[in-house]
Amino acid sequence: MAKIYINPLPVRIWHWINAAGFVVLIVTGLAIRYADLLQLISFATAVRVHNTVGFVLLANYFIWLGFYLFTDKITVYHPELDPRKYFRHSLRQMLYYGYGIFRGEPNPHHPSAYRKFNSLQSLTYQIVMILLLPIQFYTGLLLWDLERFRGSIELFGGVRVVATVHVLLFIFFTAFIFGHVYLASLSAKPFAHFKAMITGYEET
């Protein structure tokens, strides 16, 4: 049984803080938006926890950003720079999840330390990490102090636009988590991806 070191410590720390934070933000977000339907915790407590955890995740984001910006592991997102190959591999991965997997075909992607993600995964994570998550942090920050960020809110289109974008992304992330956990279970060895995010080593 071969093992490869696939998830360095900073990535694992970032991932689990992020995972726990996401759950707390989703639960408190629901408690804030649906205080009339869900009496999980008081509205005031939910707001306080939501704000605090939001800032923790904002700081945590910079662990991820710093790690990939200042190490050669950034190549896991772009093992090669040929866009045609990149999209061909993404399509191949989609065909595998949509068809090949049911026929018992092997996963066309074989992870390694510098090719951790399949192309579809890499594309999705880049959209999430470089576009959607920063927008979620930014809109959350604006909503945290409406007077302090009055000018930015007006530039964004007003508080209702900011809140609507924040809620739309909240809906996306909530649905995304289910798919994320399920796809993580589709490893060659049972629970190999989960174990890899704890120990750093993936069994192949």
Among 1, 2, 36, 81, indicate the residue that binds another protein (CB under 8 A).
36
Sign of the CA dihedral running 177, 72, 196, 115: positive
- Give the nearest distance from C-beta 20 to another protein in angstroms: 19
Among 27, 41, 51, 197, indicate the residue that binds another protein (CB under 8 A).
51
Determine, following the binding rule CB under 8 A, whether residue 49 of this chain makes contact with another protein: no
Count of other CB atoms within 10 angstroms of residue 130: 11
Maximal C-alpha separation, the chain: 58
Cβ-contact 56, 24 below 8 angstroms: no
Determine, following the binding rule CB under 8 A, whether residue 179 of this chain makes contact with another protein: yes
CA 112 → CA 27, 55, 90, 154, 185, distances in Å? 35, 33, 17, 46, 18
Determine, following the binding rule CB under 8 A, whether residue 181 of this chain makes contact with another protein: yes
- Give the nearest distance from C-beta 51 to another protein in angstroms: 7
Q: Which SS3 state, helix, strand or coil, does residue 166 take?
A: helix
Distance (Å, rounded) from C-alpha 183 to C-alpha 203? 17
Which of 110, 150 has the CB closer to another protein?
150
Determine, following the binding rule CB under 8 A, whether residue 157 of this chain makes contact with another protein: yes
Cβ-contact 38, 30 below 8 angstroms: yes
Q: Return the range that interacts with another protein (CB under 8 A); candidates 14-22, 55-63, 121-129, 155-163.
A: 155-163
- Give the nearest distance from C-beta 41 to another protein in angstroms: 12
- Give the nearest distance from C-beta 9 to another protein in angstroms: 29
- Give the nearest distance from C-beta 93 to another protein in angstroms: 14
Contact string 69-108 vs another protein (x = CB under 8 A): ----------------------------x---xxxx----
Q: Which SS3 state, helix, strand or coil, does residue 29 take?
A: helix
Distance (Å, rounded) from C-alpha 159 to C-alpha 150? 9
In which element (H, E) is residue 5 found?
Answer: strand 3-5
Which positions ≥6 away from 57 have C-beta within 8 Å?
Answer: 17, 18, 21, 22, 25, 137
Determine, following the binding rule CB under 8 A, whether residue 146 of this chain makes contact with another protein: yes
Query: Where on the chain is the footprint of another protein (CB under 8 A)?
Result: 32-37, 42-44, 47-48, 51, 97, 101-104, 143-147, 150-151, 154, 157-161, 163-164, 167-168, 171-172, 174-179, 181-182
